[in-house]
Structure 1
Amino acid sequence: MFFVISKILHFLVKPILWVFFGGLFGAWKKRNSRKFWLGFVIISYLFSNQFLVDFIFRSYEPDPIKYHEIPADVEGLILLGGFSSYFPDAERPIFRSSSDRIMQSILISRDRGLKPVIITGGSGNIYKPKEKEAIFMEAFLGQAKLDTGQFIYEPESRNTYQNAVNTKRIIQENNWEGKKWLLVTSAFHMPRSLACFNKENISVFPFPVDHKAGPPKPDFEYILFPSVDAFHKWETLFHEWIGYTAYKLTGKA
């Protein structure tokens, strides 16, 4: 039930829908008020401004960690799913913008000799519960000869809370409680992820990747011009803030 509710809330926190339905409401009610349409334009512009949303992103995302800053006592790696989906027509996975998660995990685990690498992720799609990311990634990494036996696949988790709970079960089953783990996920997702894993008393060092907002750009177009991508970034932020709050209120983080 929690998973279904979270998907409904995710649909409702899309700013582009707010703007769309706000415009429909104004047209339907035949709002000719200058104040209404001025407010509508201002709100639409703020949600479409890249400079503003990136400023908020930079304040929320943890700072990047350099490779040499990873503590020497880290032994294993936990990789959260959400970086790929299955493409049935091609019978193979396709990688999303957050594929930095898997790329960095492969490099670091090999460079630092981290074992095991736990990939935790089932189906995040409410309509396709059988398309489990860990399962099709196991096939892909095996075919690409990138799995040399260090990977463990956990395919049942459908959200961040389950990532932490199911990972803890794997750790306990293998008597790995004394290990320290590198936790790899997107920077915007790290605060909620870290809270969940800390709640389960798993010793992790956060390694945020896939930063959505780089350094500020002194670019006229970037600062002033509207961008559709800004709507998506606001949606991501709202999703994380609501998710983090819900986890805190329900004792999951």
Structure 2
Amino acid sequence: MFFLKKLITHFILPPGLLVIAFAFLGILTKRKLAKLIAFSFALFVYLLSIEPIKDVLYKPLEEAYPVPSKPEGDAIVILGGGAYNTGILKEDSTKRLLTGFVLHKQTDLPIILSGGTSIGVLPEAEVMKELLLTLGVDKSKIHTDVNSRDTAENAQEVKKLCERLRCKKIILVTSAYHMKRAVLSFQKAGLDVVPYPTDFKRDMRYNLYSLLPKMSVFADSYKALREYLGLVWYSL
């Protein structure tokens, strides 16, 4: 009874509802091409919404760089991962910031926060700075880039800060799925990078419920696909 309740719930809410809708259209239509497209979209949405496929997408991204046991550098660079207009960090940003905070406590290295915004009142780097100050980090140890809007601009703006601070080697903190693209950008900017990935998305523990479509999983799959698209764009 419990599993039946879960099954019904997952298929009356998106993305399960979309899977049912596309499959239903496929059954109703008589044109072969339309039927093929409808069933293909149903399968596509379903696969991106289940945990095993999400983990397959993340595997090459998250295994690119291991977490170093004793990272060494001149500064810790933390990349923003989004903030709400209310001044609250999104999940990815929070995990990156907490990882960088722990590293700072271990090394006492200065922190560079990178992340601007095109909308909202407060740049993301400033939101992160306020939280670090609340956690007791010395204000003189925090430096912010509030102008960058994407990873390429993160690298360019951080490079300027590093030149001013005389930092040649950085410990780069970002989500594991984002690290490959981030490293490419920062190396292109001329910085010596020590990758320190965090915010791993793969779970690798599956049961029957792992095959039910979930919006959170669909959102994670979207992030992975966006990274692959970004890597192609950066390589070009």
Matched, 1:229 2:216: yes
The CA RMSD over aligned residues, in Å, is 2.9
Normalization by structure 1: what TM-score?
Answer: 0.74
* Paired residues of 1:64 and 1:209 also in contact (CA < 8 A): no
Matched, 1:95 2:89: yes
In the alignment, structure 2 segments of 5+ residues that lack a partner are: 1-14
Provide closer, same or farther for how the CA distance between residues 83 and 62 of structure 1 changes in structure 2, counting only shifts above 3 A. farther
State the match for 1:48 in structure 2. 49
Amino acid at match of 1:242: L
Cα distance, 1:196 vs structure 2 = 0.3
Provide closer, same or farther for how the CA distance between residues 174 and 38 of structure 1 changes in structure 2, counting only shifts above 3 A. closer
Q: How does 1:42-81 map to 2 (within 5 A)?
A: 42-62=43-63, 65-66=66-67, 68-70=69-71, 73-81=72-80
Q: How does 1:1-253 map to 2 (within 5 A)?
A: 23=22, 26=25, 31-33=29-31, 35-36=35-36, 37-62=38-63, 65-66=66-67, 68-70=69-71, 73-87=72-86, 93-98=87-92, 99-114=94-109, 116-123=110-117, 126=118, 128=119, 130-176=121-167, 179-214=168-203, 216-222=204-210, 224-249=211-236
* Separation of aligned partners in 2, 1:40 and 1:173: 51
* Paired residues of 1:122 and 1:154 also in contact (CA < 8 A): yes
Provide closer, same or farther for how the CA distance between residues 144 and 218 of structure 1 changes in structure 2, counting only shifts above 3 A. closer
* Paired residues of 2:85 and 2:120 also in contact (CA < 8 A): no
In the alignment, structure 1 segments of 5+ residues that lack a partner are: 1-15, 88-92
Provide closer, same or farther for how the CA distance between residues 44 and 143 of structure 1 changes in structure 2, counting only shifts above 3 A. closer
- SS of 2:88's partner is strand
Cα distance, 1:139 vs structure 2 = 3.3
Provide closer, same or farther for how the CA distance between residues 199 and 141 of structure 1 changes in structure 2, counting only shifts above 3 A. same
Amino acid at match of 1:107: V
* Separation of aligned partners in 1, 2:69 and 2:174: 18
Provide closer, same or farther for how the CA distance between residues 112 and 140 of structure 1 changes in structure 2, counting only shifts above 3 A. closer
Matched-pair identity in %: 24
Equivalenced residue count is 215
Normalization by structure 2: what TM-score?
Answer: 0.79
